Amino acid sequence: MKRDGRTFDHQTLEAIRLMAIERVREGERPADVIASYGFNRTTIYKWINAALKPGVGINALRSTPATGRPPTLTPAQERQVFRWVNGRDPRQYGLDFGLWTRAIVAQLIEKKFGVRLGTTAVGALLAKLGLTPQKPLQRAYQRDPEAIELLAARHLSSNCPSG
């Protein structure tokens, strides 16, 4: 099974690239070197070509800072959001709905941190924190099965063409 370099952090992957090229320079066959790391055979040839570029050399194999927009919340703020949501009720924070939704979490983040996040960003944050949508452990005690059956029958009969 081949390893996927994208699963490694930048520093680890940089160290692997540099060690692999050093081993090739010492005389080992590129295919043997890359096989020892578990990567695809063609990967090392890309690294070798990058390291051979004039003016860049081995620095071509160094990690570069990740591009993209910086995170809106700090790691400490993200941990705080987790503590707010995990095992708590939104009404404890002065919000008017008893279940956590992405919109409710966004409201709380804006209220506490002054940072406005969209519902998609809040959903990604909650997933990152390991907070997933949950089903209730038990049915509501007010649930009336006969009323539900009657409503379902009415809904079906109103949507069926008569004929």
In the Cβ-directed half-sphere of 21, how many Cα atoms lie within 13 Å? 19
Residue 98 C-alpha from the chain's centroid:
26
Percentage above 70 pLDDT, the chain: 88
| Residues recorded for the chain | 163
The whole-chain average pLDDT of the chain stands at 83
The answer to whether 41 touches 35, Cβ cutoff 8 Å, is yes
3-state secondary structure at position 58: helix
The CA distance from 85 to 19, in Å, is 44
pLDDT of 137 reads 57
pLDDT digits (tens, 9 = 90+) for 67-111: 788 888 999 999 999 998 888 888 888 887 778 889 999 999 999
The answer to whether 5 touches 46, Cβ cutoff 8 Å, is no
User: Given pLDDT bands bounded at 50, 70 and 90, which one contains residue 119?
Assistant: very high
- What residue spans of 26-144 are helical by DSSP H? 30-37, 41-51, 75-85, 102-113, 119-128
